[in-house]
Structure formats: structure tokens, C-alpha cells
Structure 1
Amino acid sequence: MGKLARVLIWAWVAFNVMLFGWIAFTSLKGSGEVFGSPLELPARPEWINYENAWSVSEMGRGFFNSVVIVLVASVTTLILAAPTAYMLTRSGARSSGPLTTFFAVGMGIPIQAIIVPVFVLMQKVSMTFNETFGWWDDRISLGAIYVATSLPFAVFLLTSFFRTLPGEIEEAAALDGAGGVRIFAQIMLPLAQPGLITALILTVISLWNETLLALMLITDTEQHTLPQALLGLYQTMQYTSNWGGLFAGVVIVILPIVAIYIWLSRRIMEGMTLGAGK
């Protein structure tokens, strides 16, 4: 069974690598080549497809919006999750176990199940701020929901990781007169760096391609995220029949995440395996 599982995993990996390669080569073809020779290499690379994809549907603005929203939401999630996970593992309170279970259960709630109350809540928040201050940015609403939906996994992962860290170090620091905040900030956080990096990367990956919440909460085209810009590009390219440009847009969306994962895959696996140690 172990050999069969490895074969299936490698087959799945090979399929995805070939699929990405096909998309990348297709993004360099003209529209005629896309349908006339779909499995052949481009006769002459059409790099202008990327220029068209970047400018036609404002993918540049969408890329900037996605980078800002995803990074701010991911860092905020980590800032909230790290002390929460630390307290759950070190407080010794009776409520720690149920609270950890509560966060674990939160990971299993699909966003589709709460999308209506989320939409109503964010509409009320937007109306309240507009009536009170005359201004509101829906990207703030999207970022707040991203943080709320990412917290359960981040807390669960970091809770497992903090459990692997030795308590003797904290006891020694306490004997030297260090307070709880200092122990956490100067001792435990550096030791938990692999887990923190893993949680940050996985949060970024999960939020980068998120589309449903963005479509629901953001209507202003100037605030669109990259997946929304890709949908706009699809509608535009349908009329112009520039299918190579559409594939170029797909590459622009997925390439950053592929590059990050390849670059930091060892860190991710290190954090996941260490967090599963206990």
C-alpha cells in the first residue's frame, strides 16, 4: 500500500507539473495556435500576451491589491494566533482544551455556510462607517474576514508546535526574573520561528487565490483583487479572442505562489513535521 501511495502521489505531482507547463507554453501562443496546435510548443513566443493581460483588465492594480490585503491579513492572523496558541498550551486552565477544540472545529466550517451572515454584517459595518465618517474601504472588510477565517488553522497549527517546545527554558527564564510577556517575546517566539513561518506561508497561499469573498464584498473595480481581475480578463478576452492573453493572466495569478512554495517548501515541511511531534 505504501508503494502504491507513493506512485499515486508522484503521478499526481507529474500531472500538475505538466499542466502548469502546458499553461505556461500556451500563454506564449497566438489565438490560432491555441486551438490549431494545442500540444505543440509556440512557433514564435508572443510575450505581448503578458503585457496585454497586465494592462487590459487592470491586473497590475489587482496584483497590488492582493499583495497588500493578503500580506496584512496574514501578518495580522499570525500576530493574533501566536499569543493565543501559546496561552492555550501553557496556561494550564481547564478551558484550554475546549478552546483548542473550538478552533479545530472552526477549520471545518465551510465559508459557504456563513457567507450570508458575513455579507449582512459587512454591509452594516460599511453603512455605519459611511454614515459616521463618510468613508469606508471594502478592502478592510475583506481583510478582516480573511483574518477571521484564517485564525482557526493558524491557532491549531501553532498550538501543536508550541507543545513541542521544552518548558524547562521558560522555567529557567522565570527564575532569572523574566516576566510572561518577555519570555514569550524574547525566548519562545524565536524558538517557534519554523512554525510561525509555516503558518504565515500556508495562510498566504490559502488567501492568494480566494475569490468568493472578494466577489461578495468588493464591487469597486479599483479595489478588485487579482482573482477578480482575472475574471474580468476572461470576459474581455472572450470578445477579443485573445486566448493566449487569458492563459498569460492565469500564469500571473499562480506563478507567485508556485515560486514561494518552491523557495520555502523545506521550511513548510519542517514546521509541519515539528508541529506534529507531540
Structure 2
Amino acid sequence: MTTQIQKAEPTAVSVAKTPTKPEKIPSEGGVLNVFSHGILILWAAMVILPMLWAFMTSFKTNAEIFEAPWALPTKLHFENWSGAWINANFGAFFFNSLIVVGGGVIGTMILGSMAAYVLARFDFKGNRIIYFLFISGMTFPVFLALVPLFFVLKNMGLLSTYQGLIVVYIGYSLPFTVFFLTSFFRTLPTSIAEAALIDGCGHAGTFFRIMLPLARPGLISIGIFNVLGQWNQYLLPLVLNSDRDKFVLTQGLADLVVSQGYAGDWGQLFAGLMIAMLPVLIVYIIFQRQVQAGMTAGAVK
């Protein structure tokens, strides 16, 4: 008797999946994010609110400033700005600052970029010594050099002159410029410079035609820092420039405060303060993307 063995077909067994609980997202990152944003908002308020208050106060009269310092002006008194520009001689001070800072920044950028390029691209005896000498200039307090600078400029006939201030501003800004641009030039590709040299371009042509355009983000970034540092410089012109006709804006502001005392035109004083602040603020707003690109370009090669 033959027995037929029937194979049992496999039956699909439905396995009920137990619902998985959503993983808990660690809250440390969220707390840190909220904390950092809170600090940034607080810092922004500490910077922006005093600036807005100064701008608002520049359109007020003395009576409005003392009676309601936090209120909006009832009328915009543009005569404060015209008085600061003409009567307080801020127009001449502004022009003097443009001459000194313009010459100082241009000289700093030319000399600093050339020195940084050589230190970053060429290996020669004493390279690191020269580099660290520039770095040491960043740690040297400015006020310790005031007396030697005074006598050096006096002996050279450059005391209380545009040329003297420009030379001093260049020397003041070179250490940080060389430090910043040396690190930036090291991140640029060497193959482009080598190709230019093979095609017959000299070192000077390679630098001015190839490497400087590639270093544009870094040049703009350090240029903005130099403009800010030289425009707001007060100690150097105070000691090295005693000619009132050649005062820069920082000296003009200090002179206006001293001359007015407690019975001065405070609306005019705040207008002069805004005249000194607005140029660098506008420059930074226009070039803020280039500044950010230059600060991060050195970290990503």
C-alpha cells in the first residue's frame, strides 16, 4: 500500500510588529542652540540700541534731550548735522580722515600682501624669523612706541603732517595684515602659479596678475579691518598731530566735547558722532559677504 506523503505548503504567518517608540532626540543641542541665540540677540541689542539712540538724539534739541532722552524727536532738526559739518569743522576733519586712512590702507595692503606672499610661497633662510618678527609686532603695546615715534617724525620733518600719519598707520597695521594674508596665501593652489611661471610670466607678473585676484576675499576682509582700525585710531594722531587744521575725526570729536563742556550743543555733538560712525558702518554693510568669505576661506582648502 502506497502512502502519499503530502507536503504541507508553508503558510504565511503574519507577524504583528510592535510599534516602536520614537527615539528621543537629545535636548542638549537644542538647549545650546537657544543659549547661543540668546547671547547673540543680547549682543546685537547692546550694539544696535545705543547706535539707534545716538542717531535719534542727533535730530533733537538740547531741551528734548534732557526732558525726554528716550522719546522720539518731535521734529527732525537737520541743522544739528549742518552745524556739525560746517560750524564744528567736521567737514574738514572728515576730509583729513579720508586722506590719512585712504593712504594708510592702500600702503598697508600693497606692502602687506607683497610681504605675505613672499613669506607664504618662498622658502629661504630667515623666512620664519621675519614672519615671527611681524607677529611680535601684534603683541607690542602702541603707547610704548609713542615717544620714539614722536622724535623720529620730528627729526624727519613729518610731525603733524599727512605723510607722517600715513607712514605710522602703515607700520601700525602691517603685523596683523601680514599674519592674516600669509595664512590666506598658503591656501591658494600652487599649480596656477607654476603654470604661469612655465608660460613665461615672471614672479611679479604672477603675483599681480594671478595671485592677487585669487586672494580677493582675503584682501577685502583685511582691508575692512584696516579701515576700521585706522578710522577709529585716536592715540596715534593725538600725539603725532597737533595741527588743528589737520585733525582727523576722532580728534575733532574729542575737541568738540572739550570745547562744549556742560553747556554745549548736544544735538550737534551726536550728529558729529554719527558722521564719524556712518562711513565705516556703510562700508561693512556693503562688503559683509566678502568679509565672511575671506574669514572662512582659509579654513577650507
Question: What do residues 226-266 of structure 1 show as CA deviations (whole Å, max 9, x unaligned)?
Answer: 11111222233336531111111111111111111111111
More helix by share: 1
- The Cα of 1:137 is off from its aligned counterpart by 5.6
Find the structure with the greater CA-based Rg. Answer: 2
Alignment of 1:6-45 (within 5 A): 6-45=37-76
For 1:72, which of 75, 78, 103 is the aligned residue? 103
Name which of structure 1's ranges 82-91 and 6-15 shifts more when overlaid on structure 2: 6-15
For 1:225, which of 241, 248, 260 is the aligned residue? 248
The alpha-carbon distance between structure 1 residues 239 and 8, as it changes in their structure 2 partners (threshold 3 A), is: closer
Q: 1:133 — aligned with what? A: none
Q: 1:84 — aligned with what? A: 115
Q: 1:275 — aligned with what? A: 298
Q: Letter of the aligned partner of 2:211 in structure 1?
A: M
How many pairs align? 270
Higher relative contact order (CA 8 A, sep 6+): 1
Check whether the contact 1:157–1:275 (CA below 8 A) recurs between aligned residues: no
Q: Letter of the aligned partner of 1:31 in structure 2?
A: N
Q: Which runs of 5+ in 1 are unaligned?
A: 130-135
Q: 1:261 — aligned with what? A: 284
For 1:247, which of 249, 270, 289 is the aligned residue? 270
The alpha-carbon distance between structure 1 residues 3 and 102, as it changes in their structure 2 partners (threshold 3 A), is: farther
Alignment of 1:116-195 (within 5 A): 116-126=147-157, 138-195=161-218
Cα distance in structure 2, aligned partners of 1:178 and 1:268 = 30
Cα distance in structure 2, aligned partners of 1:161 and 1:242 = 48
For 2:257, which of 229, 234, 248 is the aligned residue? 234
TM norm structure 2? 0.85
Cα distance in structure 2, aligned partners of 1:276 and 1:232 = 44
- The Cα of 1:123 is off from its aligned counterpart by 1.6
Q: Letter of the aligned partner of 1:11 in structure 2?
A: L
SS of the residue corresponding to residue 93 of structure 1 reads coil
Cα distance in structure 2, aligned partners of 1:212 and 1:265 = 27
Q: Letter of the aligned partner of 2:248 in structure 1?
A: T
Question: What do residues 182-208 of structure 1 show as CA deviations (whole Å, max 9, x unaligned)?
Answer: 111111111111111112121111100
Cα distance in structure 2, aligned partners of 1:115 and 1:211 = 12
Check whether the contact 1:158–1:275 (CA below 8 A) recurs between aligned residues: no
Q: 2:219 — aligned with what? A: 196
Q: 2:86 — aligned with what? A: 55
TM norm structure 1? 0.92
Q: 2:126 — aligned with what? A: 95
Percent of residue pairs identical? 37
- The Cα of 1:9 is off from its aligned counterpart by 2.8
Cα distance in structure 2, aligned partners of 1:123 and 1:181 = 36
SS of the residue corresponding to residue 42 of structure 1 reads coil
Cα distance in structure 2, aligned partners of 1:93 and 1:2 = 47
Q: Which runs of 5+ in 2 are unaligned?
A: 1-31
Check whether the contact 1:230–1:249 (CA below 8 A) recurs between aligned residues: yes
SS of the residue corresponding to residue 148 of structure 2 reads helix
- The Cα of 1:144 is off from its aligned counterpart by 0.7
Question: What do residues 90-138 of structure 1 show as CA deviations (whole Å, max 9, x unaligned)?
Answer: 1112422232222222112221121121112112222xx7xxxxxx762
Name which of structure 1's ranges 136-145 and 206-215 shifts more when overlaid on structure 2: 136-145
Cα distance in structure 1, aligned partners of 2:203 and 2:245 = 45
Q: Is 1:212 matched with 2:235?
A: yes
Cα distance in structure 2, aligned partners of 1:228 and 1:137 = 13
